[in-house]
């Protein structure tokens, strides 16, 4: 009998991913953005055969994918090695050369709408307006372009266009928790929510006819709900709100005259079908705990991109309104059974001021456990950790490390008030929420106090640096992945269209100098005494390399133990499999070295 050993960590490194997808109008071709060859490229699957074949060879991640309704071409966008300067292209369904549509070096382009006949492209861009954006309509056949909307006051972009193109909706984005939506009709713009001094958001506008726009908003509410704007009467109407449910996205089914709405409160998604004719609301079972994209075809079939804690992203189809789902891709951790992977426990604990914090605790299986817990403060910060697959988590769990991921104040999916708690308070409340989480773990027997490690990326990297500088005694070692180290330089170096948000989000460098100094990790260099690994992408436009350079240089000058990895062909994340494998292996070696040092000294 052949005996097979336990899965090696290399198998977790080789897990593949589906980043995005689109489906042809006749539903005979599925196009996915995936890293089958170690780099993200576009691949096609001719349904129902489901065998993939390559369409592009540029080795870049697609920012979006959309089939033209005519089926003649695909609209897509690519940046270069994570620089986030997205350029717009057309691609034949057979693949081959990318045809430039809207490209300009150093600028970013965002797709808004492609008309039913595939002739006109609506988009907004940093071109000629890097701070607030301009919106254009581009005629693909003639090459003519018309300026629709010039952004002022806040970054502004066209969000939806009526079927007859006589009106469009646009959004002014003042921040993650403040955005206003307008309908532009006959040369005039009308605010779609009632006038108020209270900040709220609007998102996912959909024209269901030439006279009605449905959208998601939290106007006059803590949670996001479904609302409608009538273009004839110019009136706002709240349509559907559920208790303890925060709607996040929706798709329109023209065939069923219904909206499919994704909702959640916390770490899992739910899917609903809302009939525009009867008002009936139906819960739809999903094949994954997280719904990342939903496409409703002209036939009424549902195509879903989703992932769960133990399964990476895959594409599914339902041809019976969600009663059953067929998996069109089949990505798994190679050679690893589902039962060898770890589902998280959802836990709740009180923070320093009594605020309840929800967290995920991934417990390493007993036969692998080494007794150590990694604190993972998530990025964003106005994001959250969810029941979604991370190969990084599963390989660390396989090697015996448990993981604790708190959704501290400022996290999304817990209501507008909770999400706003991080604005103007990057380094106090969220820091103490994380710290209280560690104390709760120790108190409840999840970990011994000398066996806590710290790992974070982006805002989580910032938090890892800040916790290290102010509470080094709580942690054995620290990994920072592209985290801001100095809030003053961070505010100055973010992309231009982020700068209008920064005062509300982080603070004003002059008016809030004392607080920003207090909340900057670089203020606490003397406290950073534990071994550290820092990882940075050269092309990162959000947290530029200077943020990591300055903290590493300052720590080395003090003679501290710090290893620094700079990835020349990455931005704010890892788009290339060889880089991801390299970083994860270094991270694992770093943590295991700290454990071996501890063992040797006992």
> Per-10-residue mean pLDDT for the chain, 602 residues long?
76 92 98 95 94 96 97 97 96 97 97 97 98 98 97 97 97 98 96 97 97 98 98 98 96 97 96 98 97 97 98 97 96 90 97 98 95 98 97 94 98 98 98 98 97 98 98 98 98 96 97 98 98 97 96 97 96 92 94 81 62
Q: How far is CA 448 from the centre of its chain?
A: 33
> Percentage of the chain surpassing pLDDT 70?
99
Query: Are 80 and 53 members of one domain?
Result: yes
Q: Is residue 148 part of a domain?
A: no
Pair of tokens at residue 103: 């490209």
Query: Are 379 and 461 members of one domain?
Result: yes
Query: Are 215 and 252 members of one domain?
Result: no
Query: Are 399 and 535 members of one domain?
Result: yes
| Domain containing residue 315 | 244-330
What is the chain's mean pLDDT, rounded? 96
Query: Are 108 and 228 members of one domain?
Result: no
> Is the entire prediction scored with pTM above 0.85?
yes
Query: Are 316 and 364 members of one domain?
Result: no
**Non-local CB neighbours of 338 within 8 Å, separated by 6+ positions:** 310, 311, 332
Query: Are 314 and 372 members of one domain?
Result: no
**pLDDT in the model for residue 9:** 74
Closest CA to 67 of 110, 19, 28, 109: 28
**pLDDT in the model for residue 337:** 87
Q: How many domains does the chain have?
A: 4
d(CA 365, CA 126): 49
Residue at a domain's end among 241, 268, 297: 241
Closest CA to 85 of 53, 63, 70: 63
Q: Identify whether 381 is preceded by a cis peptide bond (ω within 30 of 0).
A: yes
**pLDDT in the model for residue 599:** 62
**pLDDT in the model for residue 377:** 98
CATH of the domain at 363: 3.40.50.1820
d(CA 482, CA 477): 17
**pLDDT in the model for residue 49:** 85
**pLDDT in the model for residue 1:** 78
Query: Are 230 and 281 members of one domain?
Result: no
Query: Are 293 and 434 members of one domain?
Result: no
Tell me if residue 22 falls in helix, strand or coil.
strand
């Amino acid at each position: 009998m052949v005996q097979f050993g336990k899965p090696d960590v290399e198998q977790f490194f080789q897990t593949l991913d589906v980043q995005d997808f689109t489906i042809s109008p006749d539903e005979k071709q599925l196009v996915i953005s995936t890293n089958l060859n170690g780099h993200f490229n576009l691949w096609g699957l001719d349904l129902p055969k489901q065998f993939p074949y390559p369409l592009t060879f540029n080795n870049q991640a697609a920012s979006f994918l959309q089939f033209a309704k005519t089926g003649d071409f695909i609209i897509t966008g690519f940046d270069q090695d994570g620089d986030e300067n997205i350029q717009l292209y057309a691609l034949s369904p057979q693949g081959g050369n990318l045809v430039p549509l809207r490209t300009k070096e150093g600028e970013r382009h965002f797709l808004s709408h492609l008309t039913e006949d595939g002739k006109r492209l609506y988009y907004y861009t940093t071109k000629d307006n890097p701070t607030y954006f301009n919106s254009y309509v581009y005629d693909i056949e003639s090459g003519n372009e018309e300026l629709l909307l010039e952004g002022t006051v806040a970054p502004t972009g066209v969000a939806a266009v009526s079927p007859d193109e006589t009106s469009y909706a646009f959004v002014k984005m003042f921040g993650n928790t403040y955005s206003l939506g307008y309908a532009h009709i006959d040369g005039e713009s009308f605010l779609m929510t009632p006038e108020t001094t209270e900040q709220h958001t609007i998102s996912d506008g959909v024209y269901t006819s030439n006279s009605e726009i449905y959208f998601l908003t939290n106007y006059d509410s803590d949670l996001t709900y479904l609302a409608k704007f009538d273009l004839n009467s110019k009136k706002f109407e709240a349509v559907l709100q559920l208790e303890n449910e925060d709607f996040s996205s929706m798709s329109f089914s023209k065939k069923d005259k219904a909206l499919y709405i994704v909702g959640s409160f916390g770490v899992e998604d739910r899917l609903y079908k809302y009939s525009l004719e009867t008002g009936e609301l139906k819960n739809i079972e999903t094949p994954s705990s997280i719904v990342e994209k939903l496409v409703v075809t002209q036939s009424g079939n549902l195509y879903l991109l989703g992932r769960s804690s133990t399964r990476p992203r895959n594409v599914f189809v339902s041809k019976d309104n969600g009663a059953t789902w067929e998996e069109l891709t089949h990505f798994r951790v190679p050679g690893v059974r589902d039962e060898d992977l770890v589902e998280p426990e959802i836990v709740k604990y009180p923070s320093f001021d009594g605020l309840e914090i929800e967290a995920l605790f991934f417990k390493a299986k007993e036969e692998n456990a080494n007794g150590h817990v990694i604190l993972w403060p998530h990025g964003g910060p106005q994001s959250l950790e969810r029941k979604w697959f991370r190969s990084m988590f599963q390989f660390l769990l396989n090697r015996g490390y448990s993981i604790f991921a708190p959704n501290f104040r400022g996290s999304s999916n817990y209501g507008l008030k909770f999400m706003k708690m991080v604005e103007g308070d990057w380094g106090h409340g969220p820091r103490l929420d994380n710290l209280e989480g560690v104390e709760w773990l120790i108190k409840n027997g999840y970990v011994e106090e000398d066996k806590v490690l710290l790992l974070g990326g982006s805002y989580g990297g910032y938090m890892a640096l800040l916790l290290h500088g102010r509470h080094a005694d709580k942690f054995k070692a620290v990994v920072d992945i592209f985290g801001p180290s100095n809030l003053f330089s961070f505010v100055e170096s973010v992309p231009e269209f982020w700068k209008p948000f920064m005062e509300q989000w982080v603070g004003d460098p002059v008016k809030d100098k004392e607080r920003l100094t207090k909340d900057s990790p670089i203020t606490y260099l003397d406290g950073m005494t534990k071994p550290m690994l820092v990882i940075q992408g050269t092309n990162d436009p959000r947290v530029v390399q200077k943020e990591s350079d300055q903290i590493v240089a300052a720590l080395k000058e003090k003679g501290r133990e710090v290893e620094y990895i700079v990835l020349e062909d990455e931005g704010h994340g890892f788009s290339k499999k060889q880089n991801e494998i390299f970083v994860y292996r270094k991270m694992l070696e770093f943590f295991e070295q700290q454990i071996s040092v501890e063992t040797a000294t006992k």
